[in-house]
Chains A and B, each alone.
Chain A
Amino acid sequence: MGKVIVVTSGKGGVGKTTSTANLGTALALLGKTVVLVDADVGLRNLDIVLGLESRIVYTSMDVIDKQCELSKALVRDRRVDGLTLLAASQKNNKDDIQPAQMKAICDKLRSTHDFVLVDSPAGIERGFSNASAGADEAIVVTTPDVSAIRDADRIIGLLQHARIEPINLVLNRFSPELVGNGSMIDQEDVIDILNIDLLGIVPEDTGVITSTNRGIPLVYEEGSEGGQAYMRIARRITGQQIPIPAFDQKGLFTSIMNWFTRKG
């Protein structure tokens, strides 16, 4: 029996789809069977980020309308074993799907896969309730800025209300330089406000842009900082104990100083 994890954020543009594609690929590279479900009906993107846009024939809408079998709608990613995508319909909108229908799909996929990752659309309306309907756990993606954090806080409240637990945090587009000169909120403050467990930090990586355009997730790229961060997060999802490295521009000395002041 697999786990259904919804990847969500509230605010748009913080990296939900990028995180879903990279974590799904990373989990498959670790030998897990993974299905990625795009819940962004009408504004689908996950297929592009994965480079699978030319191979989509059926969508979750066709499965709901009983136009095809669920297994037939899953598009296999040929680069890695065990990774498939269930695309969203581009011509429908979010109100055409009911939360119960999404839950039924997730429940069916759970029985045949280790992980079902649901890529949630931005917002707190129907799209979000569809995406979270079948979820056991949640990953909330946020960037270290006040508006993304406030929206993440709102989403965490809704997830708690829906009794989805645990809720883990991925801090995306983290820039040690900006934190170093005091113009970005540091990780401790983000965790202090949101008060949930930190699953990982993904540093700002301009490679994301080329990766998205080429349809090759960062985790395939050796030496990509973002890719390595997603790989570590995937290992943590599988239960491995991997420490979160300190992204510190100021060097080892300040790390030690911080360590002392935090203890004291």
Chain B
Amino acid sequence: MNRPLSGTTVQIDVKGPTLEEDELAYLRSKLKESYNLTVRGIMVSDEPTPEPIAAAPTTHIIPQAVNSSDSRESEPSRIIPYTIRSGQTEDFPQGSLIIYGDVNSGAEVVAGGDIVILGALRGNAHAGMNGRLSSVIIAMDLVPLQLQIGNYLNRLPIDQKSRGYPEIARIGTEDVIIVEKFVKF
């Protein structure tokens, strides 16, 4: 294991839920044992968490709770190591789907996040099913029957003829799904 900080001393700042004495001791011993870090001190700040606003005047906008699956970094992904054939569906509302195969005509893939197909997309794909509009659909051969990102559906029929290079579908500035050559993420 790479341990660049080996032998140094650290200070731990704990916020939020208070840790018990034995939990702190466990943390201390674990850091020493695994990373050779000496804990100099532990600072526990007991900030009271703000009470949620029960009722707000109608002129104010209540801030939405940040959903953990709203960003690409925090969401899980699932790998499907086979081709999805006509009549079969794969859905993964929790995050992104990566498919090591094709999605054939009559098949459907639905994901909370992105959909990456390391093969041909010939059926239907729906990315960002929970409303994450930054979701994208990438396929080595993007020749779908239908694309959907969030609640946007492709309006213009996408050419069913293979173009021979990978493509990406995303929501463009004019609020329509655009498909373009995929170069880099």
Interface, chain A (partner B; CB < 8 A): 124, 146, 149-151, 153-154, 156-158, 160, 192-193, 195
Contacts and interface: CB of A to CB of B under 8 A. Distances in A.
A151 B86 contact: yes
Given A193-B105, A193-B120, 14 more contacts: A124-B87, A146-B105, A150-B105, A150-B106, A153-B86, A153-B105, A153-B106, A153-B107, A154-B87, A156-B85, A157-B86, A157-B87, A160-B85, A193-B104
A186 to B, nearest CB: 13
Contacts of A158: 87
Nearest to A152: B86
B87 A193 contact: no
B122 interface: yes
B106 A193 contact: no
Contacts of A156: 85
B102 A193 contact: yes
B83 interface: yes
A146 B122 CA distance: 12
Q: Range of interface residues on chain B?
A: 10 to 19
B45 interface: no
Contact of A195 (B87, B102, B107): B102
B57 to A, nearest CB: 56
A146, A157, A158, most chain B CB atoms within 10 A: A157
Contacts of A157: 85-88
A195 B104 CA distance: 11
A117 B159 CA distance: 41
B149 to A, nearest CB: 24
Contacts of A193: 102, 104-105, 120, 122
Contact of A154 (B102, B106, B122): B106
A157 B88 CA distance: 8
B101 to A, nearest CB: 8
Contacts of A149: 105
A195 B83 contact: yes
Contacts of A160: 85
Contacts of A154: 85-87, 106
A124 B102 CA distance: 22
Contacts of B107: 153
A146 B104 CA distance: 11
Nearest to A124: B87
When A and B form their complex, which 10 residue pairs have the shortest distance between CB atoms, in order from nearest?
A: A157-B85, A154-B86, A153-B86, A154-B87, A153-B85, A150-B106, A150-B86, A150-B105, A153-B104, A157-B88
A179 to B, nearest CB: 16
Nearest to B101: A195
A7 B115 CA distance: 35
23 contacts: A124-B87, A146-B105, A150-B104, A150-B105, A153-B85, A153-B105, A153-B107, A154-B85, A154-B86, A154-B87, A156-B85, A157-B85, A157-B86, A157-B87, A157-B88, A160-B85, A192-B120, A193-B102, A193-B104, A193-B105, A193-B120, A193-B122, A195-B102
Contacts of B106: 150, 153-154
